[in-house]
Amino acid sequence: MLCRLGGRWLRPLPSLQLGPRGPPAALASTGCAKHSALPLWAVASVSAVGPGGQGGWYEALARSAPVQGAEEVLLGAHSATGLPWWGSILLTTVALRGAVTLPLAAYQHYILAKVENLQPEIKNIARCLNQEVAVRAHQLGWSKRVARLTYLKNMRRLVSELYVRDNCHPFKATVLVWIQLPMWIFMSIALRNFSTGAARSEAGFSVQEQLASGGVLWFRDLTALDSTWILPVSVGVINLLIVEIFALQKIGMSRFQTYITHFVRAVSVLIIPVAATLPSSIVLYWLCSSFMGLSQNLLLRSPRFRQICRIPLTKSDSDTPYKDLFAAFYAKFISRK
């Protein structure tokens, strides 16, 4: 039995085929002893290796080529701009997020918009295929299990054909994560190397010594902890805002999406005490990165910016996204009784 849908015939269903480390090395410079406010694990030199020349996995990661590349980017930005280290960290973060993650975020929204626009067609195919499977199950005496497996197998094939036709497989939307997360890790470890004296010196001066006087406002020493907790709390608050913006734009989330949202909320809160045990240089980078992430999320809601990025219009798009977001935020957190 053939089913005509959207100007094409679904071909008949095929028959189902059943079937021990050494002691840590000495600190690289006397600056580490000076800033003893850091926890022992945070100031231990990442260049420590065992007697056989083999370090642990973290030591290997801290000395890896990607981390060294991140160090070169930071040193290059600092040398080229002449800014104090807090400004160099801020500028580097803005540049990387703007040049790397913003285009990838726009591409992610482009893919997700095309997938969303396919949903009506997918629903029609599912309805037609369900009818065809029901007829074949009645004719051939299939059990409910066999009929369901047949439906799922053919539905996966037909949906995959749609994704290939429109070049919008959902996996492509995850490219942002695979680039952004490693970049965040490498930059964080590079700043830790600088803050603990594990990185090389620049122009005869230890980068750690430069960071010790390269802060601003209440965090003058970027190698020390932020005793006020202002930076760690700010990181957690901004990450929570990002999560809530995502949750507010999703109507009727699945159970899995709800669990993921709760998990990310918990991580956003737990990151606060973790950040409070790290050098201020790392937490400043996290804060700048999170703020840029929040800005990108808001920017990608702009109809004009989405048009510039050629992101397809979807049924869920709004002409007044910021007004709608404020109204939803107000209704959820302020006006609720």
Q: 30-68: per-residue pLDDT in tens?
A: 344 344 445 544 444 444 444 434 458 888 888 889 999
Any bridge partners for residue 5, and if so which?
Answer: 8
Mean per-residue pLDDT, 76-105: 92
Provide the residue type at 117 as one letter: N
Say if residues 196 and 278 touch (Cβ distance below 8 Å): no
Confidence of residue 216 (pLDDT cuts 50, 70, 90): confident
Model-level pTM? Answer: 0.76
Q: How far apart are CA 300 and CA 181, in angstroms?
A: 20
DSSP E strands: which ranges in the chain?
Answer: 3-5, 8-10
The CA-based diameter of the chain, rounded to the nearest angstrom, is 84
pLDDT exceeds 50 at position 74: yes
Output the pLDDT for position 19: 38
Say if residues 43 and 58 touch (Cβ distance below 8 Å): no
Confidence of residue 259 (pLDDT cuts 50, 70, 90): confident
Say if residues 39 and 45 touch (Cβ distance below 8 Å): no
Q: How far apart are CA 46 and CA 60, in angstroms?
A: 9
Q: How far is CA 48 from the centre of its chain?
A: 30
Identify how many contiguous H helices and E strands the chain contains and give both numbers: 14, 2
Average pLDDT, the chain: 81
Locate 182 and state its tokens: 């490693």
DSSP label of 311: P
pLDDT exceeds 90 at position 281: yes
CB atoms within 10 A of CB 20: 4
| Start-to-end CA span in the chain (Å) | 56
Q: Positive or negative, the Cα torsion across 28, 31, 36, 38? A: negative
